[in-house]
Chains A and B, each alone.
Chain A
């Protein structure tokens, strides 16, 4: 699914990381850890296709349509409602049976009641849950999640645990987190970045 060899990235004079090797087989679950500033976010952005590496190579087995990315920002429009946001992404990703799928996800992540309210009025936890809906909307083969548990309360974290357990083995995961213990039992591989 994902093969990375000797990957390095720098922005002008600022070096982010160097010499990263990574292999994510189909159905695998790789957990990326490391202190702040070690380049976890940059690595995940490169794997998702949002940035290009400065050195090294990256082979990804799927195209853009099959990648789901969750970054530090939820990537939803604050002035639109949950339903409008998901409808937009549903159209762009050509999700079949769009309305049903949106409804199903909103319900699963406990956002059905607030679906007609603007995202600006949501709490951080709710926004993060909406972001998870967005990521899962098109049922991607490869999920690249950057600290998905941040901003989630216990209930939300529980929902995410369930979702990850359900998809484990059928989808491929690249997950960066500050709390590896939470996903330890799901992990098939680990990558620790140095500062």
Chain B
């Protein structure tokens, strides 16, 4: 039995940064970002106080893209290099991306309501793109949960994650093309003119979101790896 137990891969370290340090960093950065956004950054000339949600809306959107790109990269590693951990890492990336994607839709919707009085704007490209991606990655979960764990599930998930990252630019182009068909552009949400405190606030918010995403990623990945290890051990002991 000890020989069999020795064949179980140890959980190992993902990177040198320990999780508690990451969690602390996230807390500090997010608090700092909130402080900057609400107290330090100047009011936007056109939209006033409501425009501040823009800092989070854009930084969360970029973070979501980063998660999806990470998922595609891990998927590629799984298919090409056959790295044993890549499948789980790709899955957790997609999960984080979907969470942040949902937040993009929420913050965008709130912004639209405050600025223009509508909860949804088809004219806002980013929102529509995230709606499409939301549908796409929800289907990823349906696919994954409809398959037994094993190499087939890992392969199919990986291929689908790769399709996803290609869909991002293609969908964006499609949405722009569709604008000519559907409405003339009436409502738009402008970003602020960058400069001074606005840039600083945005950068802090962006870094905060990225670190938060990475922390959540490590947290979830650790939990899933632990599950895996417990299952492996249980199996050896039986």
Contacts and interface: CB of A to CB of B under 8 A. Distances in A.
A96 interface: no
Contacts of A52: 151
A18 B151 CA distance: 17
Interface size class of B (residues with CB under 8 A): under 10
Interface of B: 4, 7, 148-151, 231, 235, 238
A15 interface: yes
Contacts, number: 15
Q: Interface SS of chain A: helix, strand, loop or mixed?
A: strand
A12 B148 contact: yes
Contact of A55 (B7, B148, B151, B231): B7
Interface size class of A (residues with CB under 8 A): under 10
15 contacts: A10-B235, A11-B148, A11-B149, A11-B150, A12-B148, A12-B149, A12-B150, A13-B149, A13-B231, A13-B235, A15-B235, A15-B238, A18-B4, A52-B151, A55-B7
Nearest to A12: B149
A127 to B, nearest CB: 27
Which 5 pairs from chain A and chain B are nearest by CB?
A: A12-B149, A11-B150, A12-B148, A52-B151, A12-B150
A13 B149 CA distance: 8
Nearest to A13: B231
Interface string A47-78: 00000100100000000000000000000000
Contacts of A13: 149, 231, 235
Contacts of A15: 235, 238
Contacts of A18: 4
Nearest to B234: A13
B22 to A, nearest CB: 30
A52 B152 CA distance: 10
Interface string A3-15: 0000000111101
